[in-house]
Each structure stands twice: as structure tokens, then as C-alpha cells.
Amino acid sequence: EQAISLVGKDIYEILIKGYTEKQWGRKATEVPAFIIKRLPVRFTFDNNYFNDRYQGIPIGGYNKLIEGLLEGTEVRTGIDFFSDRPYFELLADTLVYTGKIDEFYRYQFGKLAYRSLRFEEEILDCPNYQGNAVVNYTDAEVPFTRIIEHKHFEFGIQSKTVITREYSTEWKENDEPYYPINDHGNNDVYRQYKELADKEENIIFGGRLAEYKYYDMHQIIEEVLKRF
């Protein structure tokens, strides 16, 4: 109903319904309305995703941005925080936690649901496959949600190209959780965890998993600046 009120039934059927149900693994009627409210509706020929005046990604990609932020900081990767939790919690006066909040509290109120992703990469013997970094496939008959052609993020001129097909899947143990499923049941469980989190004095919970909230990148950066 939210989508149809914004764009009408034709565009809803062509562009939104199939993609939404592929992405979330649920009927569109079961997906929270705020998901579609994220998308701006414009009666112009502006094909940008957002309404912001300046849009883009960092030159060199997000890795370069993160490397700059972490310069001069000790970094350890490939480590499971929960494998030696008491040790890591005592490393600093304040802990910034960006993992799953239900796991942090040992699932005492139950497990939250997430969507995950599966990636299928392919090297193609051509300089250009789709002419754009990301193309979304909105119809339900195509099993993947989008194809990413990586060279277009940096305007590469290589003779071959690498593409990644992205498939949305239901999260299960040992999968990477990507998207919180903010239906009423999951939100009720999250609120119980948030009550515990709000009482913590030396822990900052942030990000999609720790706040069980859908964030776009610009919103994440804004939230970090606010908290800092």
C-alpha cells in the first residue's frame, strides 16, 4: 500500500514487487513500509538514487577511507570477539560493538532474523559488460537481485571485466548477516536487547547489526559524527 500510494500500481508491479520479494524472501505485504519510504520519488529526469547535492564514493574506494581512519592504530583481523570475550572487554575503557546485538547478550531473549547474501563472481573476456557499476534486476523470474561490474567504480580500462551476481538468501548459522528484518516480531525482541544496551556505560552499540536497523552508508557516517 505504501509503494502503490507513492508510484501507482504499474510501476509497483514492474519495478518494486518482484525485487522486494526476492530481496526479503517474503511477500511484499509482509515487509515494513519504511523500506520503500527510503526511496525518493521525483517527477523529474534526475536519475540519482538520493536527493543529496553531492553523491559518490571515496576515490580509491571505502578501503582507502578505512585505512586512513585506522592509521596509527593497532588492528587485528580474523579474530572472534566471543572466543575470548573477557580479554577483549578489558583491552580498553570503552568498547565499540558493531556485531549482532542478540549474540552479544547470548540470545537470552531469542534470536533475531537477518537476510544474507550469496555472491557469484565471473571474469568475462570483454572490456565492458553492462556499462554501469550496478544494475538491479527487478523481475521475480531472475534469481539474482543485481549485477555489480567492479571496474566502473574506478573507471578501469582493463581488457577484461569482473562481474558479481548477488543473490539474497535467508540467514542461517555461519552465514554473514547483512540486513535486519524489521517486522513487528523481530522489533519486539530487539527492544528487549536495547533496554539492556541502554544501561551499559562503557559500550557503544553501532551499525546495522548492533542497532538492528537498516542504514545506508551516508547515514552511518552521519551517526558516527554525531556520536563522536
The reported pLDDT for the residue numbered 72 is 95
Only one residue has cell 526511496, namely: 39
Global pTM reads 0.82
Q: What is the pLDDT along the chain (228 residues), one digit of tens a residue?
A: 888 888 899 988 888 888 888 988 888 888 877 777 777 788 888 777 777 888 888 888 888 888 998 999 999 989 999 999 999 999 999 999 999 999 999 999 999 999 999 999 999 999 999 999 999 999 889 999 999 999 998 888 899 999 999 999 999 888 999 999 988 899 999 999 999 999 999 999 999 999 999 888 888 889 999 988
What digits encode the pLDDT tens for the residues 27-60?
Answer: 888 887 777 777 778 888 877 777 788 888 888 8
Quote the CA–CA distance of 30 and 11 in Å, as a whole number: 19
Domain residue limits, the chain: 2-37, 62-103+181-227, 114-170
Cell of 48: 540519482
43-50: long-range contacts, CB 8 A cutoff, minimum separation 24? 50/218
The reported pLDDT for the residue numbered 48 is 77
Quote the CA–CA distance of 161 and 159 in Å, as a whole number: 7
Q: Does domain 62-103+181-227 have CATH number 3.30.479.30?
A: no
**Amino acid (1-letter code) at residue 165:** R
Q: What is 22-86 written as a DSSP string? A: HHHSS-GGGS-THHHHTS---SSS---SS--SS----TT-HHHHHHHHHTTS----S--GGGGHH
The reported pLDDT for the residue numbered 58 is 82
The reported pLDDT for the residue numbered 41 is 80
**SS3 for 202?**
coil
Strand partners, 81: none
Q: Is 70 exposed, middle or buried (0-12, 13-18, 19+ CB in 10 A)?
A: exposed
Contact by Cβ (8 Å): 94, 200: no
The reported pLDDT for the residue numbered 103 is 96
The DSSP symbol for 14 reads I
Contact by Cβ (8 Å): 144, 137: yes
To which H or E segment does residue 9 belong? helix 9-11
Contact by Cβ (8 Å): 197, 101: yes
Q: From residue 78, give the alpha-carbon distance in Å to each of 75, 83, 195.
A: 10, 11, 30
Query: Whole-angstrom distance between the N-terminal and C-terminal Cα of the chain?
Result: 38
Catalytic positions, please? Answer: 38, 42, 115, 146, 166, 214, 216
H helices of 157-216, in order, are 184-198
User: What are the backbone angles phi and psi of residue 139, rounded to the nearest 5°?
Assistant: -80, 145
